[in-house]
Amino acid sequence: MFDFLVTPIRNLGHTMINAIWRLGSISHFLFSILIYSGQCLTRFSLVIREIYFAGVQSLIIIIVSGLFVGMVLGLQGYNTLARFGSSEALGALVALSLLRELGPVLAALLFASRSGSAITAEIGLMKTTEQLDAMSVMAVNPIARVVAPRFWAGVLSMPVLAALFNVMGIFGGYLIGVVMIGLDEGTYWSQMHNSVDLHFDVINGLIKSLVFGIAVTLIAVYEGYDATPTAAGVSAATTRTVVTSALVILALDFILTAFMF
Amino acid sequence: MKRSTIDLWVGIFVAIGIACITFLSLKVANLTPQSSDSTYSLYAEFDNIGGLKIKAPVKSSGVVVGRVSNIELDTKRYVAHVTLTLDSRYQFSRDTSAEILTAGLLGEQYVGLTQGGDPDNLKQGDRIALTSSALVLEQLISKFMLSFGEKSDTHSGQNASAAK
């Protein structure tokens, strides 16, 4: 009788239960990765191989986008600061915005789309072609052999990539501010030096990137491991990795910023 | 790909990471390796410190000679107790005066030291006796408004007497 009222509420409840169920299952998955991590730390060459694919191969995209983000910050920041007659604060503006927000967030977004999607596709395809089942049959735990090395490689690569992004961005701001516009070089560096604090800005930025690394890689390996073993399933899982990672990065960034600064 | 090539690239990757973090902490942030024996601290009491903050520079003739290391309120006399940490290369005489100045019209506030004429120097833990407080813009404006009001009062008084 009240079907038109009950159905939307039932749908809402179903979505909610599903979301909580997925959260529980992803936490359970993280727990089992941590349990089986001992094995991949004793065979560290597995992790090194994955760092090569997740970290080293992302270097080009991180360097180029860091440089361009820094140059855009330099141009836009100069235009706005010059209006208030304080263009000498450009160094501080570029360094603070990169270290606190842009560096960790943009590096994590790029990492999620470049490496996170690759990890999901790889693990999902392994599942589709029954390689994971074959491992289980041979008494090799697929979480210890396939998932844990990829997880640790992502977690270790992310802070390095974010730090590189920051350095390239600051260099890009230098190129625009000092080389192109002609601000004083000493002012650029000393303004930066005076306003950036090691613990408050640099360390907090690195903590952020570490948290993003854990979140992105966990989502990537979970989606791959959880993918429906069909071509369409792997494609959907890859899409979900990128979308969920982006949303989680931005939400976590807000929470971390509210706590840190 | 060969194992040794992968190892080489990951090694380069980690070296880049360490280099970037070192650059960020040394060149970008103000981590200056400064041992405690090359500094000494003094304190000064101000009626009002305005917007002075911890880590604000201490300057003498415009040269940074140290930083503000601590600010607290003296609850007995209700004055601000400001601790300054100075580089021990720079020594100041006992009648040095300290004032809180502002860089530019709206810039950050810093402590300015002016050297006196006493032959003895200030030592670790000494107090800078001569201080002048920060200029607070609102107080300046209210003083100005007050004196302006008084002036116009006397003007109207004169007018009233002239009318009589």
Confidence tier at A215 by pLDDT (50, 70, 90): very high
Which residue from B12, B28, B55 is facing A192, i.e. has the nearest CB? B28
Q: How confident is the model over A112-147, as pLDDT tens digits?
A: 999 999 999 999 999 999 999 999 999 999 999 999
Mutate to test the interface with B, among A195, A198, A203, A210 (most CBs of B within 10 A): A198
Total tally of structural domains belonging to chain B: 2
Residue A208 reports pLDDT greater than 60: yes
For chain A, give every domain's residue range.
36-260
- B48: which residues sit within 8 A by CB, 6+ positions away? B80, B133, B134, B136
Please indicate, yes or no, if residue B162 is contained in any of the structural domains.
Answer: no
Residue B136 reports pLDDT greater than 80: no
Backbone CA torsion sign across B108, A203, A209, A192: positive
B29 and B83 housed in the same domain:
no
Please indicate, yes or no, if residue B46 is contained in any of the structural domains.
Answer: yes
Mean pLDDT of B147-159: 66
Mutate to test the interface with B, among A174, A193, A208, A210 (most CBs of B within 10 A): A193
Q: How confident is the model over A147-180, as pLDDT tens digits?
A: 999 999 999 999 999 999 999 999 999 999 999 9
The answer to whether A197 contacts B25, with C-beta atoms less than 8 Å apart, is: no
Query: d(Cα B152, Cα B160) in Å, to the nearest integer?
Result: 12
Mean residue pLDDT across chain A: 92
Q: Using an 8 Å CB-CB cutoff, list chain B residues near A202.
A: 21, 24-25, 28-29
- Structural contact between residues A175 and A72, judged by C-beta atoms closer than 8 angstroms: no
Q: Using an 8 Å CB-CB cutoff, list chain B residues near A167.
A: 20, 23-24
Confidence tier at B37 by pLDDT (50, 70, 90): low
Mean pLDDT of A37-55: 88
- B144: which residues sit within 8 A by CB, 6+ positions away? none
B91 and B79 housed in the same domain:
yes
For residue A30, the model assigns a pLDDT of 94
The answer to whether A164 contacts B31, with C-beta atoms less than 8 Å apart, is: no
Mean residue pLDDT across chain B: 82
Closest residue by Cα to residue A123 from A102, A146, A139: A146
For residue A133, the model assigns a pLDDT of 92
Residue B48 reports pLDDT greater than 90: no
Residue B157 reports pLDDT greater than 70: no
Which residue from B12, B14, B30 is facing A197, i.e. has the nearest CB? B30
Please indicate, yes or no, if residue B129 is contained in any of the structural domains.
Answer: yes
Residue A55 reports pLDDT greater than 80: yes
Please indicate, yes or no, if residue B121 is contained in any of the structural domains.
Answer: yes
B23 and B66 housed in the same domain:
no
Task: Tell me the percentage of chain A whose pLDDT exceeds 70.
Answer: 100
Please indicate, yes or no, if residue B155 is contained in any of the structural domains.
Answer: no
For residue B133, the model assigns a pLDDT of 82
For residue A245, the model assigns a pLDDT of 95
Provide the residue range defining the domain that includes B129.
36-142
Confidence tier at A233 by pLDDT (50, 70, 90): very high
Of A202-211, A217-226, B127-136, least confident by mean pLDDT is B127-136
Residue B161 reports pLDDT greater than 60: no
- Distance (Å) from the alpha carbon of A199 to chain B's nearest alpha carbon: 9
Residue B159 reports pLDDT greater than 60: no
Mutate to test the interface with A, among B13, B30, B105 (most CBs of A within 10 A): B13
| Pairing mode, strands B127-128 and B109-114 | unpaired
B95 and B15 housed in the same domain:
no
What SS3 string covers chain A? Answer: CCHHHHHHHHHHHHHHHHHHHHHHHHHHHHHHHHHCHHHHHHCHHHHHHHHHHHCHHHHHHHHHHHHHHHHHHHHHHHHHHHHCCCHHHHHHHHHHHHHHHHHHHHHHHHHHHHHHHHHHHHHHHHHHCCHHHHHHHCCCCHHHHHHHHHHHHHHHHHHHHHHHHHHHHHHHHHHHHHHHHCCCHHHHHHHHHHHCCHHHHHHHHHHHHHHHHHHHHHHHHHHHHHCCCCHHHHHHHHHHHHHHHHHHHHHHHHHHHHHHC
Confidence tier at A44 by pLDDT (50, 70, 90): confident
- A223: which residues sit within 8 A by CB, 6+ positions away? A120, A124, A237, A238, A240, A241, A244
Which of the pair, A224 or B153, is modelled with greater confidence? A224
Confidence tier at A4 by pLDDT (50, 70, 90): confident
Please indicate, yes or no, if residue B56 is contained in any of the structural domains.
Answer: yes
Q: How confident is the model over B90-101, as pLDDT tens digits?
A: 888 988 999 888
B12 and B46 housed in the same domain:
no
Residue B3 reports pLDDT greater than 70: yes
- Per-residue burial over B81-107, b if 16 or more Cβ lie within 10 Å, else e, is bbbbbbeeebebebebbbbbbbeeeee
B28 and B72 housed in the same domain:
no
Please indicate, yes or no, if residue B11 is contained in any of the structural domains.
Answer: yes
Q: What is the token pair recorded at A39? A: 């094995």
CA-based nearest residue in chain A for residue B17: A160
Residue A90 sits at φ, ψ, to 5 deg, of -60, -40
Please indicate, yes or no, if residue B160 is contained in any of the structural domains.
Answer: no
Q: Which residues of B touch A (CB under 8 A)?
A: 1, 3, 6-7, 9-10, 12-14, 16-17, 20-21, 23-25, 27-31, 55, 57
Q: How confident is the model over A58-81, as pLDDT tens digits?
A: 999 999 999 999 999 999 999 999
For residue A69, the model assigns a pLDDT of 96
* pTM attached to this predicted model: 0.76
Query: d(Cα B51, Cα A25) in Å, to the nearest integer?
Result: 51
CB atoms within 10 A of CB B129: 14
For residue A257, the model assigns a pLDDT of 94
Query: d(Cα A158, Cα A214) in Å, to the nearest integer?
Result: 9
B41 and B23 housed in the same domain:
no
Query: d(Cα B66, Cα B83) in Å, to the nearest integer?
Result: 11
CA-based nearest residue in chain B for residue A201: B29
Residue B35 reports pLDDT greater than 60: no
B85 and B97 housed in the same domain:
yes
B115 and B43 housed in the same domain:
yes
